[in-house]
Every structure is written in C-alpha cells, then in structure tokens.
C-alpha cells in the first residue's frame, strides 16, 4: 500500500518552476529579472534615430545652401531692380516723348543719381543703386547723407555736377552732328539739374542750403510753388508737399535737437563759402546751357 504523502502537494520550497524561491520559506524573494532589449530591437532604435538626425541634417544643409545662394544672388537682384525700374521708366516716358528720347532721359537721370552714389561712398557710406520712379526721377537709399551738413552738401551737389557733365556730353554730340535730337537731350539735362538746385529739401539745392543757410528752405519752397503755378505742373505739387513737410521737420529738429544738431549744422566760414561758390557757379552754368540749347517753337 502506497504512503499518503505521495498524494499531498509539495511544500512551497519544492514547487518547481522558474520563479520558485530557491532557499525555502522565510527568505527574501528573488528580484524580478531585468528585461533587456534584443540586439535586433536596439539596432532598429538606433537606425530610427539616425534616420531622423540624417533628415534634420539634410534639411539644415539645404537651408544653408539656399541662404548662401541668396547672399550670392542678392547683389544681382539689386541690379535687376535697377535695370527693371529703368525699363519701366523708359516705357512710361516713351508714351510722351518716344523711345529714343525716353532712353536718353533715363540715362541722364541715371548719371545724375550716380553722382550721389559716388559722393556717398567717398564719405564712407554705403549707398544703393538707383531705383527709378516714372515721372518722379529716381531714388537711392543710404543710412545717412554724411556726418554733418557740409558732407550733406557735398553729396547733394554731386548729383547736379555729374548730371551737368552728362548734359555737356549731349551738347558736344549736338555740336558734332548738328542733330536736334541731341540738342533737346542737352536742354532737358540742363533743365533737370537746374530744377534740382531749387533750395528746398529734399531736392539737391536743399541739401546745399543745409550747409549754407537753412532758412533758405522756405525761400526755395516759395520758388518751387511759383514754378508749379507758372508751368502748371501737377507733379510739382507732390514735391511741394514732401518738401514742405521735410523742411518743417528739419527746421524744428534743428531748433530743438540740442548739442547734436548744433554740431551737425556747425560749418566753418570757409566751408560755407566753398558750398556757395559751387552752388552759384553751377546754377549760372546751367542757365547758360539752357539758353544755348533752347529752341523757341512759337504757337
């Protein structure tokens, strides 16, 4: 007869299995085994991270390449803006004067504006290439017009000086060819540069007056108003509005600006005389040029 102990369950210390306590009852339980990733899982996780980092690196490299390309192309874009605005102005002026005269007119304006650009760079100031605005001329941009009123006068007068040289070239071509076309180009060039010498800001004459006598801005405003009435030029009204507001702003800033403004407008007597000589002499030569190229058409 078999013993009954064979039919009783084994004590807990003898329970078979992977989690059975090996040392019997009363001993601390064995800590749970650590779960480790299989080599295949670790490799997959690293591959996923590498893919993400690789994609981010590729995107960053593409962005840097585009920025570098933009920096390389930016100067060319500025030139495209200049030549594009020149083309638009040629088309606009051709509606009134024809293609030949429109091209000559835009070139005269370009030469005038490059006088300002050259003078600004001589003062150590970066200046943009001209941007043309149909029927209003062209503009350049810079952080300032110089460190003081004398530098501003030099920058302002440089435009009419170089522009007058361009007009004289047209006059010489007229003398060599006898073509009335070049006579008309020279006349308009002299007129354009003389108009810019009206002593009101922001015209070039107003820049010169900053070093000579700022109170002349108000005289120039009256002269410009008279020109608008006599020649019935609506565009002069735009310049009057801009000039009036700018002159008033600058006059108030000069009176209330304190030591900084006093230093800006402090010009030696020698400097004032030099600006006056260039301004008056240039205006006189332009009047002579107008007289030499003027053609009376009658009624």
Q: What is the pLDDT of residues 58-91, one digit of tens each?
A: 665 565 555 454 444 445 566 778 888 899 999 9
User: What whole-number distance in Å separates Cα of residue 133 and Cα of residue 106?
Assistant: 10
Q: Assess if residue 131 is contained within a domain.
A: yes
pLDDT of 106 higher than 90 = yes
Extended strands (E) in the chain = 131-133, 137-139
**Taking residues 45-51, what's their average pLDDT?**
58
Q: Assess if residue 35 is contained within a domain.
A: no
**Taking residues 8-12, what's their average pLDDT?**
48
User: What whole-number distance in Å separates Cα of residue 146 and Cα of residue 28?
Assistant: 88
CA angle 295, 236, 284 (to 5 degrees): 50
Tokens of 77: 């874009």
Q: What is the reported pLDDT for 41?
A: 52
How many separate domains does the chain show?
1
Range of the domain at 111: 41-293
Q: Assess if residue 160 is contained within a domain.
A: yes
Cα–chain-centroid distance for residue 11? 93
User: What whole-number distance in Å separates Cα of residue 155 and Cα of residue 121?
Assistant: 9
Mean pLDDT of the chain: 80
Q: Assess if residue 7 is contained within a domain.
A: no
Q: Which of 47-51, 53-57, 185-189, 253-257 has the highest mean pLDDT?
A: 185-189
Q: Assess if residue 209 is contained within a domain.
A: yes
Q: Assess if residue 289 is contained within a domain.
A: yes
Phi/psi at 139 (5° precision):
-135, 155
What's the pLDDT band for 48 if we cut at 50, 70, 90?
low
Q: Assess if residue 259 is contained within a domain.
A: yes
Q: Assess if residue 17 is contained within a domain.
A: no
């Amino acid at each position: 007869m078999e013993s009954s102990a064979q039919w009783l369950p084994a004590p807990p210390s003898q329970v078979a299995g992977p989690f059975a306590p090996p040392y019997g009852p009363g001993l601390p339980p064995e800590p749970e085994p650590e779960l480790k990733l299989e080599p295949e899982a670790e490799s997959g996780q690293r591959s996923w991270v590498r893919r993400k980092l690789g994609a981010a690196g590729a995107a960053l490299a593409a962005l840097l390449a585009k920025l570098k390309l933009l920096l390389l192309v930016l100067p060319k874009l500025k030139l495209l803006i200049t030549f594009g605005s020149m083309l638009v102005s040629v088309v606009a002026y051709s509606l009134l004067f024809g293609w030949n005269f429109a091209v000559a007119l835009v070139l005269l304006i370009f030469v005038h504006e490059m006088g300002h650009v050259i003078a600004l760079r001589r003062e150590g100031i970066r200046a943009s290439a001209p941007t043309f605005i149909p029927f209003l001329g062209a503009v350049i941009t810079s952080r300032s017009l110089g460190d003081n009123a004398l530098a501003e006068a030099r920058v302002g007068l440089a435009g009419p000086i170089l522009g007058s040289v361009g007009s004289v070239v047209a006059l010489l071509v007229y003398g060599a060819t006898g073509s009335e076309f070049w006579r008309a180009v020279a006349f308009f060039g002299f007129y354009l540069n003389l108009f810019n010498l009206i002593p009101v800001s922001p015209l070039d004459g107003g820049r010169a007056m900053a070093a000579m006598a700022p109170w002349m801005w108000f005289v120039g405003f009256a002269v410009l108003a008279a020109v608008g009435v006599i020649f019935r030029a609506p565009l002069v009204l735009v310049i009057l509005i801009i000039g009036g507001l700018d002159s008033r702003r600058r006059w108030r800033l000069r009176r209330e600006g304190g030591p900084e403004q006093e230093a800006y407008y402090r010009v030696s007597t020698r400097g004032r005389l030099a600006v006056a000589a260039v301004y008056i002499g240039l205006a006189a030569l332009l009047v002579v040029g107008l007289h030499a190229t003027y053609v009376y058409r009658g009624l």
